[in-house]
Amino acid sequence: MNPSDAIEAIEKPLSSLPYSLSRHILEHLRKLTRHEPVIGIMGKSGAGKSSLCNALFQGEVTPVSDVHAGTREVRRFRLSGHGHSMVITDLPGVGESRDRDAEYEALYRDILPELDLVLWLIKADDRALSVDEYFWRHILPRGHQRVLFVVTQADKTEPCHEWDMAGIQPSPAQAQNIREKTEAVFRLFRPVHPVVAVSARTGWELDTLVSALMTALPDHAASPLMTR
């Protein structure tokens, strides 16, 4: 398949996005015709990694569970089934137990060299971020420029009963709390890229996440996140 056919193959999944955004993404992907971008989704258990994958792909492509860790093994899948595509790597959630964190720390170290970008997910109502800090400072120190922090489950931000389901947006009070959360995450981690808040359940700000993802993705995606 030639590059133009490959790009055409992924246009349909992007059709639900605003025209200008989908054009931006396709133009960016045209720069990557010799490389298949690999994006890792990481974070603590319960942060909504699999749910976000499902929302981005508009279908249930990975198991979702609210009991214990939703994904205990690495799962990979593509945006398109053939030709030039984008690989998403869904990794097990950390923070469930010390034993599992030791196991997953080794797993993360092994997988990181394969990734061009990491989405690190943090729940909107999660205030205990010591595990996230540990992995940021000790497992991802050489790859900060390729980590995009995502505040998830924004619809659960207090006062959660005020979420506007009809308009698919937070109430003014929720919007203020979401802003404060993203600012707090930015102050704590000092990431290279802006922090994005989303609601996978309602689809709120998923287009913003896709745009931020494409902006953060290296043009040629040739350098590993970290060396072994």
Q: What confidence category does residue 58 fall into, taking pLDDT thresholds of 50, 70 and 90?
A: low
Question: The domain that contains 159 carries what CATH number?
Answer: 3.40.50.300
Closest by CA to 122, choosing from 22, 183, 43, is 43
Give strand pairing partners of 122: 151
Of residues 34 and 207, more confidence is placed in 207
Tally of domains in the chain: 1
Q: Determine the Cα angle at 111 with ends 108 and 116, to 5°.
A: 115
Q: Is residue 99 part of a domain?
A: yes
**pTM (2 d.p.):** 0.77
59-90: pLDDT as tens digits:
544 433 443 444 567 888 776 644 556 788 88
What is the predicted pLDDT for the residue at 69?
Answer: 45
Q: Tell me if 39 sits within 8 A of 213, measured CB to CB.
A: yes
What is the predicted pLDDT for the residue at 10?
Answer: 64
Q: Is residue 5 part of a domain?
A: no
What is the predicted pLDDT for the residue at 60?
Answer: 46
- Percent of the chain clearing pLDDT 70 (strictly above): 75
Cα–Cα distance between 176 and 106 in angstroms, integer? 38
Domain with 205 in it: 34-73+91-216
21-25, 27-31, 69-73, 173-177 — which is least confidently predicted? 69-73
